[in-house]
Amino acid sequence: MTRQDPIGKQELKVVGTRPVRPDGADKVTGKAVYGADFYLPGMLRGAILRSPHAHARILSIDTRKAEALPGVKAVATNADFPRVEMAEIDAGEAGINVDRAAQMCLARDKVVYEGQPVVAVAATSPEIAAAALDLIEVQYEVLPHVIEIDDALRADAPLLHDDLMPAEAPSNVGARLEAKSGDPDAALAQADVVAGGRYTTQAVHQGYIEPQACIASVSADGQAQIWCSSQGAFMVRSVAAAITGMNLADLRVTPLEIGGGFGGKTTVYLEPVALILSRKSGRPVKMVLSRDEVFRSTGPGPGAIIEVRIGATRDGILTGAIVDLKYQVGAFPGAGCGAGVMHALGAYRIANKRVTGCDVVSNMPSSHAYRAPSAPQAEFAVECAIDDIARQLGMDPIALREKNAVKPGDASFSGAPLGPIAFLETLAAAKVHPHYSAPLAPEHGRGIAAGWWVNHGGESTAMVSINEDGSAVVATGNPDIGGSRASMAMMAAEVLAVPMEKVRPIVADTASIGFSMLTGGSRTTFATGKAVVEAAQDVVEQLKSRAAMIWGVDAAQVAWVDGEARCLEGDEEPLAIKDIAARMGKTGGPISAEKSVHPHDAMPTYAVHICDVELDRETGHIRVAHYTAVQDVGRAIHPSYVEGQAQGGAVQGIGWALNEAYAFNKAGGVDNPGFLDYRMPVASDLPMIDTVLVEVPHPNHPFGVKGVGEVPIVPPLAAVANAVSAAAGKRFLDLPLTPARVHAVLNSAG
């Protein structure tokens, strides 16, 4: 790993170091409590009957035999949910439509994908619950189904819903967006070189290790609690309460440890169902998805068709671009083209451009966020086209990107000027990296790709309190999916000027901390970190005031240095935090502060990836031989965590490029609902991924933080495809680059 010196680096003692993670010991010893580990006395086990059809009308549901089975305590259908018409809840990067979310928990009038939940039961054991499912009789009228984007857009395609695109005739298009400037058609007609094509990607799953799990318990007075694996306890509270008709104040949600999410756990699947079953049975209900259920019924990242044309002058100035994006969003609209339209061309200065996008529904699990949602697909096509322009011009591909890269002060997608972004610095770091100039072995190819992500701010709350012995607690409302407990503790320790070991970070439940937006969009260390810093600064001021009270001096005469109060006048002995804390009862009581923030000044981050692949022309097999991820990170609070984010995103993108894809059979069912057949990269598939952290701090964050978790997955699709195309001497347009697909292209006449 290389870490470039940050610009304007502060003298910091904790931030930028690599302490042991505060949650590490419990995780490696098996003591950490995940969703499936949590138990309550007297709890029941829930199970779900799922649709065997990709598209069918529900004619009748008969649960009488199941209800009569000894040990069955409750049965639930969508009829147990109050009908909520099109109410949308802000859930972070995108809103959640309550009515559609309810139908993904339990289908109402018809099923629109294989595996959609239809009936839920709660019983005294998992075996009895499974037996009860076999006794439920559901009558279906099977309807024609559609999976692929092109098929769903045909005039005679079966329609999933009758309320999409109300301004037009009913269709399978759930949303349509356009962004335009200048005259791209004229610019392309006058360009010296034009590159592009029709690119495709497939639906891919986030692949988190831990399946969704929860326990719900509703008391006799209507008060309820949920313990769950989720990226946002407040999101779970809001959506589950809306689906079940509960008051927010009656529902308390406690986040447990989370075994991965990557955006896939920013919605609900089980929690409202468990609430209904608990309310009906009067007992706690635990529900855990199997891996098969995860693949069949939770949201993958969408597949896409991207048509691109980009034009340039002979000296490498990009003059015009047209991008058309179609996203395969699954059974319900809501997670597709918006971010794709924003990100497709946002890294480059192109005066004449038009980007259009649409969400296309089809009979597969409804898509959901997956790490920089919708940006990897769009930038895969754009970065491949830019690579082809560089090849046509005989120009270094990084030099072409440098010539056209957005700079500080350029207009962003929203029209506001960009702040101190570091795209050029990231490109420069990639260009001088030894990997970029290393000689290539025979049958190897090298690819370059860039990418960016807008990043988010959002509402966050944090509390910092001092214990009687002088140690501190930092409580936030954001589940830790990428090391945020460590970064929160480190920032608090930096402000308090104490060792990190003196700070205990915790993730609080929804009744113990103020509202916080979910963990996603690379926002937590940035936004929640601001709240932590403000709370810690408040605590420091309180400590100074308490010291002034002890000394009998004005608070203005007290400074905070190296974790202790020092009197600027007089010969008073310094007071450490433990000395002040020991006298809390005599100086005003507890020392704590809670701060809430809602920053809107998150800054985009950029990444440039270099990939070498080895191509076996006989079999079409691709081996990634060398990989480097260069990333603008603002300032790395805990560099090891930041390196891990860059490496993890690269691995996921490599899997997307080479192996991963949902496979559907003729009946519309998922054919590979497990890790045996859904091929994700493992350690033996990969080289060590080198990282370069480019630190250009965010000026409006106390420690210069920019979000780092989303952008690493954006460049790999194109970096791998460009490397394979360079090795083969042919452009590859369709992902994943499986051996069969590569072999077919190598042996084609084109």
**3-state SS string for 185-210:** HHHHHHCCEEEEEEEEECCECCCCCC
Residue-level pLDDT at 748: 87
pLDDT digits (tens, 9 = 90+) for 262-288: 999 999 999 999 999 999 999 999 999
Locus of tokens 């978790």: 709
What is the C-alpha separation between 226 and 513, in angstroms, rounded?
16
Q: Are 530 and 701 in contact (CB under 8 A)?
A: yes
The tokens describing 181, both together, are 């400037």
- Whether this prediction's pTM lies above 0.85 is answered by yes
Beta 224-228 vs 251-255: how paired, if at all?
parallel
pLDDT digits (tens, 9 = 90+) for 534-570: 999 999 999 999 999 999 999 999 999 999 999 998 8
Which amino acid is located at 43 in the chain? M
What is the C-alpha separation between 137 and 249, in angstroms, rounded?
37
Lowest mean pLDDT among 411-425, 607-621, 703-717: 411-425
User: Is residue 750 classed exposed, middle or buried when 0-12, 13-18 and 19+ CB atoms within 10 A define those classes?
Assistant: exposed
Cβ neighbours for 413, distance < 8 A, ≥ 6 positions apart: 179, 342, 346, 454
Average pLDDT over residues 300-320: 98
Locus of tokens 């039961």: 121
Q: Are 383 and 714 in contact (CB under 8 A)?
A: no
Strand partners, 334: none
Given pLDDT bands bounded at 50, 70 and 90, which one contains residue 6? very low
For residue 434, the tally of other CB atoms under 10 A from its CB is 9
Lowest mean pLDDT among 5-19, 368-382, 427-441: 5-19
Given pLDDT bands bounded at 50, 70 and 90, which one contains residue 86? low
Sequence spans of domains, the chain: 1-10+412-455+603-750, 460-597
pLDDT digits (tens, 9 = 90+) for 121-179: 999 999 999 999 999 999 999 999 999 999 999 999 999 998 886 656 789 999 999 99
If phi > 0 it is left, if psi is from -120 to 50 it is alpha, else beta; for residue 394 that is left
Indicate the helix (H) or strand (E) that contains 690: strand 689-694
DSSP 444-492: EEEEEEEEEE------EEEEEEE-TTS-EEEEESS--SSSHHHHHHHHH
pLDDT digits (tens, 9 = 90+) for 444-502: 999 999 999 999 999 999 999 999 999 999 999 999 998 999 999 999 999 999 999 99
Cβ neighbours for 594, distance < 8 A, ≥ 6 positions apart: 461, 462, 463, 513, 514, 535
**Residue 171: HSE in the Cβ half-sphere, 13 Å Cα cutoff:** 18
What is the C-alpha separation between 63 and 451, in angstroms, rounded?
51
pLDDT for residue 231 is more than 50 = yes
pLDDT digits (tens, 9 = 90+) for 152-167: 999 999 999 988 866 5
Beta 622-632 vs 689-694: how paired, if at all?
parallel
Q: Are 263 and 373 in contact (CB under 8 A)?
A: yes
Asked if the domains at 1-10+412-455+603-750 and 460-597 fall in one CATH topology, the answer is yes
pLDDT for residue 413 is more than 90 = no
Q: Are 430 and 436 in contact (CB under 8 A)?
A: yes
Residue 273: helix, strand or coil by DSSP?
Answer: helix
Looking at domain 1-10+412-455+603-750, its CATH class is: alpha beta
Residue 101: helix, strand or coil by DSSP?
Answer: helix
Q: Are 672 and 114 in contact (CB under 8 A)?
A: no
pLDDT digits (tens, 9 = 90+) for 234-244: 999 999 999 99
C-alpha closest to that of 147 among 342, 268, 300: 300
Residue 737: helix, strand or coil by DSSP?
Answer: coil
Round to the nearest angstrom and report the end-to-end CA distance of the chain: 41
Lowest mean pLDDT among 64-78, 561-575, 653-667: 561-575
Share of the chain above pLDDT 90, in %: 93
Given pLDDT bands bounded at 50, 70 and 90, which one contains residue 93? low
pLDDT for residue 203 is more than 60 = yes
pLDDT for residue 633 is more than 50 = yes
pLDDT for residue 387 is more than 60 = yes
Q: Are 112 and 100 in contact (CB under 8 A)?
A: no
How distant, in Å, are the alpha carbons of 218, 232, 514, 541 from that of 463?
Answer: 28, 17, 9, 15
Q: What is the DSSP letter of 257?
A: B
pLDDT for residue 1 is more than 90 = no
What is the C-alpha separation between 283 and 42, in angstroms, rounded?
7
pLDDT for residue 335 is more than 80 = no
What is the C-alpha separation between 448 and 466, in angstroms, rounded?
49
Residue 695: helix, strand or coil by DSSP?
Answer: coil
What is the C-alpha separation between 451 and 374, in angstroms, rounded?
12
C-alpha closest to that of 233 among 514, 440, 19, 2: 514
How distant, in Å, are the alpha carbons of 117, 232, 258, 288 from that of 227?
Answer: 21, 12, 11, 12
Q: What are phi and psi of 90, to 5 degrees?
A: -70, 120
What architecture does CATH give domain 460-597? 2-Layer Sandwich (3.30)
pLDDT for residue 8 is more than 80 = no
The tokens describing 262, both together, are 């990557």
Asked if omega into 687 is within 30° of 0 (cis), the reply is no
Average pLDDT over residues 292-315: 97
Inter-axis angle of helices 271-281 and 233-244, nearest 10: 60
C-alpha closest to that of 79 among 104, 108, 57, 59: 108
Q: Are 625 and 688 in contact (CB under 8 A)?
A: no
C-alpha closest to that of 508 among 552, 556, 474, 554: 474
Average pLDDT over residues 324-348: 94
Residue 623: helix, strand or coil by DSSP?
Answer: strand
Residue 250: helix, strand or coil by DSSP?
Answer: helix
Average pLDDT over residues 69-77: 98
**Residue 168: HSE in the Cβ half-sphere, 13 Å Cα cutoff:** 10
